[in-house]
A and B are shown apart, each in its own frame.
Chain A
Amino acid sequence: MSVEQATDYGPTLVAILFGIAFSCVFLGLAMFLGPKRENAEKLSPFECGSEPIGSPRVRFSVKFYQVALLFLIFDIEAAFLYPWAAIFRRLSCLGTVIGGECLGTVTAFGFVEMLVFMSTLVVALAYVWRKRAIGWG
């Protein structure tokens, strides 16, 4: 990745601005152009056509939280893969790398260091699997 690419956030900025402008325009259009004829029926909470019963604030199962937490942990693990992939060829090469080709001895160094990390995580995954923490049972 060249320096110019890495630091050029222009397209990102344009995309963000476009997103903001787009949503503002359509919200604004709906607000100013849409007819507003409110009545009691329209303002009541809508629940698939049936009368709402009880409080909407039911307590959710802790299972949601657990799944989210596990997702987060494995997400962080995946984040480590990007930098590894970016320099994998250089890690596995004892000489210089030109155009993705290694001009020296190819080693398993880069592969093994990620293998060690990943195998620990596979253990974690196997553990989670056996403990039925993923899946609603």
Chain B
Amino acid sequence: MIAVATSDFASLDLGSLLMQAAQVQAVPASSLTPAGWTPAWAFWILSALVVVGAISTISQRSLISAVMSLVATFFGLAGLYATLSAHFLAAIQVLVYAGAIMVLFVFVIMVLNRDEVERVSDRGLLDKAIGAGALVYLAVRLGEVIASPVGPVSRMSKPAPEFGTVAKIGEYFFTEFLFPFEAISILLIIAVIGAVVVARTVVSRPTTSYEVPNAASGSAEGGDDHAGGDAHGAHGGH
């Protein structure tokens, strides 16, 4: 909510933020890529795509348009990863985020089926002031970090030529980070259980009184009381 409310501030300040961001990023974009073909304009185009897509995501009225803007953002991010020689990550970004997760988003929108929302209206002056203050603080801090002589970038050593390739990622996954890789299977199995448990349809039981209004409204809504009775009958059998 706060992000939405302050988005207009963000766009106002975008120019200066971009200038600052460029000071950090223009260096690695040209120096870190071993083949050296990614020019600075690749960074500019891709980051413009990311920023425009992100702003469009939070300001579109139609939810589906917002999701499509997010797809554009994800493609831009994938491109940025590629220029930073994170090749496997770039591919996964397109496959998983721009593909699978966006499908999920669309399904969520279809399941929720909300009407097109109004833009979050401008709230009180206090909220705006807090948002502006936080943004100024962020900009100042960011500027400090970027202007500090021992910047973050200079400390990072240049990645090896095979950095970010599928094979190199595999080497990390299956030797040094083997334990986290195997432990992810626990995380994924919980996710599977969660998908089944949380999306499970509520099953009515005929024993208590408080199900009655639910069943009644269901049959009234559908104009078909056969289905509700069916469920009760099936359940009463054991």
Question: Contact residues of A with B, CB < 8 Å?
Answer: 1, 3-4, 6-10, 57-66, 68-73, 75-77, 79-80, 82-87, 90-91, 110, 113, 116-117, 120-121, 123-124, 127-128, 131, 133
Contacts and interface: CB of A to CB of B under 8 A. Distances in A.
Contacts of B148: none
A127 B195 contact: no
A10 B181 contact: no
Contacts, number: 142
B195 A73 contact: yes
Nearest to B82: A9
Interface in B157-194: 161-162, 164-167, 169-171, 173-175, 178, 181-182, 184-186, 188-189, 191-193
A80 B85 contact: no
A66 B101 CA distance: 13
B88 A83 contact: yes
Contacts of A59: 111-113
Interface of B: 33-35, 37-38, 82, 85, 87-88, 92, 95-96, 99-101, 103-104, 107-108, 110-113, 115, 161-162, 164-167, 169-171, 173-175, 178, 181-182, 184-186, 188-189, 191-193, 195-196, 199, 201
Nearest to A84: B170
28 contacts: A3-B161, A4-B35, A7-B37, A60-B107, A60-B111, A65-B107, A68-B104, A69-B195, A70-B192, A71-B103, A72-B101, A72-B104, A75-B100, A83-B88, A83-B166, A83-B169, A84-B170, A86-B167, A87-B170, A87-B174, A116-B185, A117-B182, A117-B184, A124-B189, A124-B192, A124-B193, A127-B193, A128-B192
Contacts of B38: 9
Nearest to B175: A91
